[in-house]
Amino acid sequence: MKMEKFDPLNGSIAHVLNFLGEGWSMLIIREAFFGIRRFEEFQSHLGIARNILTSRLKRLCDNGILERVPIREGAKRHEYLLTNKGKELMPLLITLTQWGDKWVYGKGKEPIIFRDRENGEPISPIQVHANYGRTLRPREMMPTAGPGANQQAKQRLQELAELANELENQ
């Protein structure tokens, strides 16, 4: 069953989890960021079963994350390239990596460190910033109904705002 059917906010997270929510998809995307393009390369680097890889690649293509293109004009073999939509998942990939490094492996035990190609320095931790640049903590943000919110989502977000106000006034 699709995740958004369970999400009373009808939010983007549930929709995205429909095609990224299982582990293989994010690993395929990670490999695509690393430069892997061909079916056999994905399979050998990930150790994924062919039928599962076929299914995940199709889903990622159907959702516009990857594009399946012939390796050259007229060729029967194809490769998979990140689309612009797929490339915009990079911050999510970095965030998941940094979170796992901190909470799963611990400082000094990171399996992968992303570095700036120009100077070799580790990239800074991903953070959320206000429009004017200040780093925001979770309590400094609030979800509000967007133009696509349905009535159920609007009601739930109003309840969350009231709860936040109650907590703030305690």
pLDDT digits (tens, 9 = 90+) for 90-121: 999 999 999 999 999 999 999 999 999 999 99
Q: Quick one: pLDDT at residue 6? A: 58
Q: Does residue 86 carry a pLDDT above 70? A: yes
Boundaries of every domain in the chain: 1-88
Instruction: State the DSSP string of the chain.
Output: --GGGG-TT--HHHHHHHHHSSHHHHHHHHHHHTT--BHHHHHHHHT--HHHHHHHHHHHHHTTSEEEEESSTT-S-EEEEE-HHHHTTHHHHHHHHHHHIIIII-TT--S---B-TTT-PBPPPP--B-TTS-B--GGG------TT--HHHHHHHHHHHHHHHHHHT-
Domain 1-88, CATH class in plain words = mainly alpha
pLDDT band at 1 (very low <50, low <70, confident <90, very high): very low
pLDDT digits (tens, 9 = 90+) for 27-81: 999 999 999 999 999 999 999 999 999 999 999 999 999 999 999 888 889 999 9
